[in-house]
Amino acid sequence: MENEITTPNTNTESAPKKRMLSGIQPSGDLHLGNYLGAIKNWADRVNDYECYYFMADLHTITVRQDPATLRKRSLNQLAQYIACGLDPEKNVLFLQSHVPAHAQLAWVLNCYTMFGELSRMTQFKDKSAKHKDNINAGLFTYPVLMAADILLYQADYVPVGEDQKQHVEITRDIAQRFNSIYGDVFKVPEAFIPKAGARVYGLTTPGDKMSKSIPEGCVFIMDSPDEIARKFKRAVTDSDTEHCVRFDRENKPGVANLMNIYSAITGESFEEIEREFDGMGYGAFKPKVGEAVIEHLRPIREEAERLMADKAYLNEVYKNGAERASYIANKTLRKVYKKVGFYQLP
């Protein structure tokens, strides 16, 4: 799509930083796909962008959650964000439900979003198929809440994978529709598709993204070294007879996925990886990838464990993050309320 960008905008010293926003649901521990595909890149952008990253707890309840578990995960995910390199002094880190403006703007935007637009969203179709006993209205209007998340902060860019581009497209449509009626209210965001980085696939399902819903093929940041090693030893490769380490996404998706992970961790190119493991076969390659992942995640896991034990610190980060996020969000919400005609107290 023409609004996509693939490289960061380098800001001059005098120009204000562009704003970037993203979030992940606290529906389980963060995994290697979240880290390599998103969070690792988020941490690298802090000097170029004004960054807002949140725990998307409002989005999680389209699927039934155990309340105590959700509360625990919301705290633990913040610890994992910080351990992955997101400095709360340099990034605005917050919990979505701590900023009521998300839900308030979502209702207004519901009234400017067409039923047909929502019915065409592929995520609704996919999730409806998986949760046939709970096809609720929140699942249907999920993209509107996502649009509110983005538009509240007048975000310039939204880092997304290829599978999330549709959500940025509908956000742009909603913003442009609202602006066409009321003037220049929302900044129309652009999808930020990184050139590199990794779309990590499941170790047991290399045709699908790594997912918490398939834990045996999912490497979690908080997994023990033994558990990570076990998962990589059982990773799917391919059934051909050559058993060579060669990047071929179409014909050797399992090997390509392992090479992609190894490249993201070590910085080696695919050509360098092919040379390193020339003639060695999968029996040597899979444990080597596991070892690289174990050593890379070890300091992250240990720091996350330390932070999880300091609940007072995490609560303070959340409090400060909510205050900083609310300052921007409430300015946008007040403007929207005024435009649509809601009477506001002096």
The set of catalytic residues is 127, 209, 212
Instruction: Please give the backbone phi and psi of residue 52, each rounded to the nearest 5 degrees, phi first.
Output: -120, 120
- CB distance 194 to 166 below 8 Å: no
For residue 5, list its beta bridge partners.
Answer: 192
Q: Give per-residue burial for 273-283: e unless 16+ CB within 10 Å, then b.
A: beeebeeeebe
How far is it, in rounded angstroms, from Cα 199 to Cα 253? 12
- CB distance 204 to 217 below 8 Å: yes
Residue 185's SS3 state is coil
Query: How buried is residue 180: exposed, middle or buried, by Cβ count under 10 Å (0-12/13-18/19+)?
Result: exposed
Q: Are strands 18-24 and 49-55 parallel, antiparallel or unpaired?
A: parallel
Length of the chain: 346
- CB distance 198 to 261 below 8 Å: yes
Radius of gyration of the chain (CA): 21
- Name every residue whose Cβ is closer than 8 Å to that of residue 165 and which is 6 or more positions away in sequence: 1, 4, 191, 193
Residue 19's SS3 state is strand
> Minimal CA–CA distance to 217: which of 230, 265, 242, 225?
230
Tell me the longest C-alpha to C-alpha distance in the chain.
76
